[in-house]
Amino acid sequence: MTVSVSAPAAPAAETVLRRPSLAGRTRAGLAEALAEIGVPEKERRMRVGQLWNWIYHYGVREFDAMTTIGKGLRGQLAAHFSLDLPEVTAEQVSTDGTRKWLMRMPSTGPHDRGAEIECVYIPEVDRGTLCVSSQVGCTLTCTFCHTGTQRLVRNLKAEEIVAQLMVARERLGDFPNRKPPEGAFVPNDGGRLVTNIVFMGMGEPLYNFDGVRDAIAIMSDDQGLSIGRRRITVSTSGVVPQIGPLGGEMGTMLAISLHAVRDELRNELVPLNKKYPIKDLLEACRNYPGLSNAKRITFEYVMLKGVNDSDAEARELVRLLKGIPAKINLIPFNPWPGTKYECSDWDRIERFSDIVFRAGYASPVRTPRGRDILAACGQLKSETEKLSARARLMLDQDQVEAVPAVAAE
């Protein structure tokens, strides 16, 4: 495993003085920025298109690189704005190629050091998936999830969600004319390194509906970052009233964190179930806009030893999902310090998966990725907080070579 650490974060006071960044903004946000510096209204649409292309398609980090825009306007833009992305405070690369970045968001005021969030890149043979966060912490308290033990700090803004993809593309050399770092997964069709996005990092995306919706609009725009909506999956613990609007307004793929087939147990594992029980949740799934065999819902099921992993529960799972175009994703539980749960034994997981498979579902068991860097589901943030503190300490003690994170810089 390689651990590389950037210099300790700048003090908040300096952060506050930074020029506002245009990276991550919507078209309307870019138009506002142009209005602020006096660009005439009739010119703005064209200029927004140019900015959009440079920022999101090419990933440029300096206004001066925007050669289709005249020198004068480039100078004006640079005097008022930046193209800064969140600062990467730690990057880790797992032996299996998984990468995890800890990012510090710009400070929002003198008393804010800038929230830290994580984002994980998982290369596979046929795709590269980026797991993004939608909130800092989570208000929900699923008992098996480490994020759930933390209080919610805040919702991420749309631009902070988009920035996670931009940082990943930059660090992976995944913008045009950039070189990927050594050892990076390079698709043999010459395609891009990040092809899919899953909202499975920190937070409940449907409790940050507007932020997630705007971010998805930017990330899926084919003039820019170009991740098709069919390649974006929003995972929810079951915020029933927002499931229909998610399909209608965002048109992404849906994943449901089911984890139990009886309300009594689900109430305990996913306390939101007390508000929106299984029956209501599945009803919302049946009505998910655009649902078809080509656009199935993924049901996530974490395998907890002796808790939810019996044959009877596997059969009940199949029965419950009857009539819903579905995929079932069995997730081995990722333990964290202090948890009362254990991961089911491997032969139990196989047996469970067999029952589901024989009922006609592909039931891939999600291979834990990036375990050596604590990048697995439900482990985000708190472990890394410790790690980054340790990493910084090591940096202070000069025990870690402070190398640029990847060659793309």
Query: Among candidates 281, 213, 224, 306, which has minimal Cα distance to 252?
Result: 213
Angle between helices 27-36 and 41-52 (to 10 degrees): 130
- For the CB of residue 381, give the shortest distance to ligand SAH in the complex, in Å: 11
Give the C-alpha distances (Å, rounded to integers) separating 235 from 134, 201, 316. 11, 9, 22
Q: Site residues for ligand SF4, window 212-271 (CB under 6 A)?
A: 237, 257
Q: Which of 98, 133, 147, 195 binds ligand SF4 (CB under 6 A)?
A: 147
Check residue 309 for interaction with ligand SAH (CB under 6 A): no
Check residue 142 for interaction with ligand SF4 (CB under 6 A): yes
Is the distance from CB of 53 to CB of 62 less than 8 angstroms?
no
CB atoms within 10 A of CB 235: 22
Q: Of 30 and 331, which CB lies nearer to ligand SAH in the complex structure?
A: 331
Q: Which of 281, 356, 373, 377 binds ligand SAH (CB under 6 A)?
A: 377
- For the CB of residue 376, give the shortest distance to ligand SF4 in the complex, in Å: 13
Check residue 300 for interaction with ligand SAH (CB under 6 A): yes
Q: Of 88 and 239, which CB lies nearer to ligand SF4 in the complex structure?
A: 239
Contacted by 377, from ligand SAH, ligand SF4, none: CB < 5 to 8 Å by type: ligand SAH
**What is the rounded CA–CA span in Å between residue 389 and residue 127?**
32
Alpha helices in 173-261 (DSSP H): 209-220, 243-245
Is the distance from CB of 24 to CB of 162 less than 8 angstroms?
yes
Is the distance from CB of 259 to CB of 270 less than 8 angstroms?
yes
Q: Which residue is nearest to ligand SAH (CB)?
A: 378
Check residue 129 for interaction with ligand SAH (CB under 6 A): no
What are 87's two structure tokens? 């600062």
Q: What is the identity of the amino acid at 359?
A: A
Check residue 318 for interaction with ligand SAH (CB under 6 A): no
Q: Of 25 and 381, which CB lies nearer to ligand SF4 in the complex structure?
A: 381
Contacted by 242, from ligand SF4, ligand SAH, none: CB < 5 to 8 Å by type: none
Q: Of 52 and 144, which CB lies nearer to ligand SAH in the complex structure?
A: 144
Q: What is the 3-state secondary structure (H, E, C) of 341-389?
A: CCECCHHHHHHHHHHHHHCCCCCCECCCCCHHHCCCCCCCCHHHHHHHH
Q: Of 93 and 206, which CB lies nearer to ligand SF4 in the complex structure?
A: 206
Q: Which stretch binds ligand SF4 (CB under 6 A): 140-148, 210-218, 287-295, 382-390?
A: 140-148
Q: Which of 15, 334, 353, 388 binds ligand SAH (CB under 6 A)?
A: 334
Alpha helices in 93-237 (DSSP H): 158-172, 209-220
Check residue 204 for interaction with ligand SF4 (CB under 6 A): yes
Sign of CA dihedral 51, 57, 58, 60: positive
Query: Among candidates 203, 99, 196, which has minimal Cα distance to 146?
Result: 203
Contacted by 137, from ligand SAH, ligand SF4, none: CB < 5 to 8 Å by type: none
Q: Which of 22, 145, 227, 304 binds ligand SF4 (CB under 6 A)?
A: 145
Q: Which stretch binds ligand SF4 (CB under 6 A): 82-90, 137-145, 359-367, 399-407?
A: 137-145
Which residues are designated catalytic?
118, 377
Query: Among candidates 217, 12, 236, which has minimal Cα distance to 104?
Result: 12
Q: Greatest CA span in the chain, whole angstroms? A: 70
Q: Which of 145, 172, 250, 349 binds ligand SAH (CB under 6 A)?
A: 145
Residue 278 makes CB contacts below 8 A (sequence gap 6+) with 258, 260, 261, 262, 263, 266, 320
Contacted by 313, from ligand SF4, ligand SAH, none: CB < 5 to 8 Å by type: none
Check residue 205 for interaction with ligand SF4 (CB under 6 A): no
Q: Site residues for ligand SAH, window 228-287 (CB under 6 A)?
A: 235-237, 257
Q: Give me the residues that bind ligand SAH (CB under 6 A), please.
A: 142, 144-146, 200, 204, 235-237, 257, 300, 302, 331, 333-334, 377-378
Q: Give me the residues that bind ligand SF4 (CB under 6 A), please.
A: 138, 140-142, 145, 147-148, 203-204, 237, 257
